[in-house]
Amino acid sequence: MSKPVESQLRFVNVMRSIFNTKLEEIVCEDCYNAVDQYVDMLRAGRDAGEILPQVKAHLGVCAGCDEEFRALIAILEAEVDQSDTQ
């Protein structure tokens, strides 16, 4: 099972360059754009909170984005369950 590590790293670099200009604060739109990758990293066993600390911080303070994040995980978990049973 191989992971597209290179594309993930490229994404991380892009995100870092975006977030660096905004320091610790991101807006909901940034969080929304990053949350897919954030969840992918979590599911790949990577330390998403370490790689994208701004997303983690935003999820901690923004109920709307946290809900989005949890919904995304629930959807992905459901997909995994489906593929397991087939």
Q: Which long-range contacts (CB under 8 A, 24 or more apart) does 46-53 make?
A: 51/12, 52/12, 52/15, 52/19, 53/24
Q: Which of 34, 51, 65, 69 binds Zn ion (CB under 5 A)?
A: 65
- Binding residue for Zn ion (CB under 5 A) from 5, 9, 14, 28? 28
Answer for which of 12, 18, 62, 76 binds Zn ion (CB under 5 A) is 62
Smallest distance from Zn ion to CB 14, Å: 20
Residue list 32-61, contact with Zn ion (CB under 5 A): none
Given the structure tokens 């995994």, which residue do they identify? 80
In the complex with Zn ion, which residue's Cβ is closer, 9 or 71? 71
Q: Which residues of 34-64 are buried (b: 16+ CB within 10 A; e: fewer)?
A: bbebbbbbeeeebebeebbebbbebbeebee
Site for Zn ion, rule CB under 5 A? 28, 31, 62, 65
